Amino acid sequence: MAGVLSTLDEDDAAKARIWIEEGMSPAGRLSPLVFANVALQADDIPFYAYEAGTRFDPGISSNEEAFALTAAENDPELAEALDGRFGPYLDLEAIGRDLAADCTLHDDGYLDRSVDPGIDPELYSRDELVCLAGLDVGDDDACVMSGLDVPMDKAVVR
């Protein structure tokens, strides 16, 4: 599984970790095989970076505030309210907390729990993962037959 995970970029591995930590994969089935399967489908995980910065940036004091500012980037009505004369009096933390009802906020972004991306923790068998990692030892025919004979750079779309 380490060979498969070595093909991932940091963002995909982080998304897979968050997905599993949030309990989005069925309980009781956490294993290196499950993690590798989830990580290979990381592009489908609805985890998004904050568009307006994080709580570590000047002027942003919390993840909730970062989420509210991100929401304002995509909601002209909220942006207008924040830019209006009463904008400085609005509680961005409360707005972000309320808007994030279906999300889990993290330091570097948010997981939208309302989206079901259809992650399958059993999509690839152990043998298929070995082929994807380019670690097939001797039985090249098995990888060729499965269509997984070429080691990958990123997640394979099935």
On whether both 85 and 70 belong to a single domain, the answer is yes
Does 57 fall in a domain? yes
Residue 11 lies in a domain: yes
The answer on pLDDT for 150 being more than 60 is no
At residue 149, the pLDDT reads 47
In a domain, 13, yes or no: yes
How much of the chain, in percent, has pLDDT values that exceed 90? 37
Domain co-membership, 95 together with 131: no
The predicted structure's pLDDT at residue 99: 96
Q: Is 16 part of a structural domain of the chain?
A: yes
Is the domain of 40 the same as that of 66?
no
25 and 53 inside one domain: no
102-106: long-range contacts, CB 8 A cutoff, minimum separation 24: 103/67, 104/22, 105/63, 105/64, 105/66, 105/67, 106/18, 106/47, 106/63
Question: What is the arithmetic mean of pLDDT over 115-134?
Answer: 84
99 within 8 A of 67, measured Cβ to Cβ: yes
Distance between CA 149 and CA 131 in Å, rounded?
A: 6
Predicted pLDDT of residue 80: 96
**What confidence score (pLDDT) does residue 14 get?**
84
Domain with 138, as residue range(s), is 2-45+117-146
pLDDT tens digits, one per residue of 22-66: 776 665 567 788 888 888 888 899 999 999 888 888 888 899 999
How many domains does one find in the chain?
2
Q: Would 12 be classed as within a structural domain?
A: yes
- Domain membership of residue 111 (yes or no) is no
